[in-house]
Amino acid sequence: MVEDKEIVLAIFGATFAIAGLLLVFLGFLLSEYGSFSLSDTVDETLAPYRRMIFGTITVLAINLILALLSFWWLMDEPRIAFDLTVGVFVFELITLHGLGVLTAWLMLWR
């Protein structure tokens, strides 16, 4: 049987790995967005980048909440923190998938 501590430690580590990948992706988006001349570029060109940047920052915020929940459980081990940690991690995986689909849709099929 896998212990709760092992699960939370795995989620805690995965949280920082995901955050690192998201920061690289955010840096790419910001550099692409910054390469446009804002005065000469139509809003229709910039809007997908703004949506992707907002989505990435949102997932990073969820990631920060997840790290705090994991840390809370590691400090006190309350059951509610464990349940929230696992639930938010599943939610984060779903939002990451949504961000990937949104990015592909905005960049490839739009």
Q: Residues 91-97: what's their mean pLDDT?
A: 95
Question: pLDDT per residue over 32-88, tens digit each?
Answer: 999 998 888 898 889 999 999 999 999 999 999 999 999 999 999 999 999 999 999
Domain map (residue ranges) of the chain: 4-108
> Residue 101 contacts by C-beta under 8 Å, 6 or more apart in sequence?
none
The answer on pLDDT for 110 being more than 90 is no
Question: pLDDT per residue over 9-19, tens digit each?
Answer: 999 999 999 99
Dist CA 1 CA 75 (whole Å): 22
> Residue 75 contacts by C-beta under 8 Å, 6 or more apart in sequence?
none
pTM above 0.95, yes or no: no
The answer on pLDDT for 101 being more than 90 is yes
